[in-house]
Amino acid sequence: MNTSAAIKVADLRKDYRGTRAVDAISFDVPHGSITGFLGPNGAGKSTTLRMLVGLTAPTGGSATVLGRHYTELVNPGRRVGVLLDASAQHSGRTGLEVLRLGAMMMGLPDRRAEEMIEKVGLSAAESRRRTGTYSLGMRQRLGVAHALLGDPSVLILDEPANGLDPAGIHWMRTLLKEFADAGGSVLLSSHLLHEIEVVADELVVIGRGRIVARGAKNDLLAGSGVAVRSTDDEGLAAAMRAAGVPFTDHPDGGFTVSAAAEHIANIAAAAGITLRELRTADDGGLEQLFLRLTADDAREDVRS
């Protein structure tokens, strides 16, 4: 592996009969990181991921995994774990059989299937039921088990948290963090913003096929400013105005300020005002960012 990134997407495009579903998307997934791929429904996330693994032919641009086009990887299941749709399983096969088929194709021993069943928290009895009887949450676990079968160094997961209960979501988060801590790279799409905000290092946000934001999560969230409350909000407002610090009223009282927390603390101290609260404005955090960035592209009017 002599590439700087586990996944490289460059100028990727897809047209469907005159409609541009994916429009010149470029981003990297660095080694050992979790990159969240965010966007409202229909933004082009799934199309992008399908192009990445060779299931959909791009109209233009390129996508490489571990330095190669996915279709040129040798026995790709041993390098890249992919879960695109947990429901895409033969309903007449048992969960265990689905994994055994995968293990067989990749050239892995049968017991690997049982190990993965255990790893994703499905019981032995559940693994012997046909997948047609599975809940969406169980299918997601089975899909993750399948993605992990070949002991890959890269994971590509489309909406893996979909259908999981809160305990399942927590489990998924832990699993992905461990995977990345062990040096693995993850590209994970979601419209569940909270999921990605907690787990991702890097973010790629798309709307209507275009990238609307991209970068380290902390950088993207830093723009939210600082939330402050005091025992004398009127006095604090006057002091901040005098200091030339831009701020807005917070709907729950206090202010959201675009300045360093220390600077605000100094202003308050100089004016003799007691602060009750001073923290990074993370209310909604990424959600606010996400809604703002995608407001023009979303189907619903989400502007608040």
Asked whether position 242 contacts other proteins by CB under 8 A, the answer is: no
Judged by CB under 8 A, does residue 175 bind other proteins? yes
DSSP calls for 33-98: -EEEEE--TTSSHHHHHHHHTTSS--SEEEEEETTB-GGGSSSGGGTEEEES-TT-S-TTSBHHHH
Closest listed residue to residue 202, CA positions, set 222, 227, 220, 177: 220
DSSP 161-193: TTT--HHHHHHHHHHHHHHHHTT-EEEEEES-H
State yes or no: residue 87 binds other proteins (CB under 8 A): yes
Q: Report if residue 119 touches other proteins, rule: CB under 8 A.
A: yes
Query: Taking a C-beta distance cutoff of 8 angstroms, is the pair 107, 79 a contact?
Result: no
231 Cβ neighbours under 8 A, 6+ residues apart: 273, 274, 276
Q: How far is the CB of 292 from other proteins (least distance, A)?
A: 31
Q: For other proteins, what does the binding mask look like between residues 121 and 140, x meaning CB under 8 A?
A: xxx--x---x------xx--
Shortest Å, Cβ 253 to other proteins:
39
CA-nearest of 35, 20, 50 to 297 is 20
For the bound state, the minimum distance from the C-beta of residue 127 to other proteins, rounded and expressed in Å, comes to: 11
Rounded to an integer, what distance in angstroms lies between the CA atom of residue 192 and that of residue 195? 6
The span of 173-181, 190-198, 203-211, 261-269 binding other proteins (CB under 8 A) equals 173-181
Stretch that binds other proteins, among 111-119, 228-236, 237-245, 257-265 (CB under 8 A): 111-119
Among 15, 24, 101, 261, binds other proteins (CB under 8 A): 101
Give the C-alpha separation, 87 to 97, whole Å.
15
- Per CB under 8 A, the list member of 17, 57, 234, 252 interacting with other proteins is 57
Residues binding other proteins (CB under 8 A): 50, 53-57, 70-71, 73-79, 82, 84-85, 87-93, 97-98, 101-102, 104-108, 112, 115, 118-123, 126, 130, 137-138, 141, 146, 148, 150-151, 167-168, 170-171, 174-175, 178-179, 182, 184
